[in-house]
Structure 1
Amino acid sequence: MKYSEKELVLALIDNNPRAYTYLYSNYSNSLQIIISRIIKDSEHVSDLLQDVFIKVFGKIKNYNSVKGSLYTWMAQIARNTAIDFYRKHSKNVFFTLDTDHHGNDSKMWVFQNHDGADIEEHIDKLMPERKVMIEMVYLEGFTYKEAAEEMEIPIGTAKSRARRALRSLKNVYDYRAKVA
């Protein structure tokens, strides 16, 4: 059976087993890609994907179509789950330039193997608008679009602020690596 998004949500709320199967079959690959962009270990990715679906099934009554599509809502859950796992299990801090969860912009790895407290100290020294953007997009899991709307600025400005902030942070660590 094929569902419209509205029908699927209603069927999930009614605990329809076919709806659960349909949801997993149609969205698991996309959500797995989102998780694997943050977590590289395939075993952890598989476990986190299951966690995401448990959260989706448990929170489906909270889904609000006015705020975005079902996929967008699930993608945010996947991203947040992966980020939370990463923070909990690693002292490594990384950021990517990734305009949206569909990967429409090139990714650039900026930091790896740095103590999180050290990076937070440098984030605090950024210009206020850049600091807020880094926190929203990379630490709180907002998309650029969501962050731009929240800050009431154009999406291009949001992306520019994030890139400039990342470059500033990268320069600090590049300089420290040369001095060390």
Structure 2
Amino acid sequence: MFSEHGRAMLAYATQLTRDRAAAEDVVQEALVRAWRHPDSLNNGKGSVRGWLLTVVRNIVLDQIRARNRRPPEVGESPPDAAVEGDHADQVVTSMVVVDALSRLSNEHREVLEQVYLQGNTVAEAAEALGIPPGTVKSRSFYALRALREVGKERLAS
């Protein structure tokens, strides 16, 4: 049966699945079904090839329906690869930064917010805070040093 209809079945299954390996599996399943139901092949209602191609189509449709009913599969990533989209490290880092910022004085925190979060220049930060540019620079220096110290403490514990 395969020698007579196998090429047509494989070509049709490949056209439906667009995947040669999947098409081979479909043809194998269709041939198993034909072997289990030999009476369906010789019922006189149509050609054997037509029946086999219908079985191929039905198997492919069943696979598509089954795939659509379950959630999409997640592919395996190499063991050394970082997980894409995993933002846990970013969350932890932001929690550490927020904690460190909360330990700073209001003056130091305001300077860092102006310069680093809002992207202001030293002159713009000085104008917004109503302090001299030199004070912005020194507060920024001491605030960053304090943040580094908090970071070192966190890493040590």
Higher relative helix content: 2
One fold, TM greater than 0.5?
A: no
- Normalised by the length of structure 2, the TM-score is 0.40
- Normalised by the length of structure 1, the TM-score is 0.35
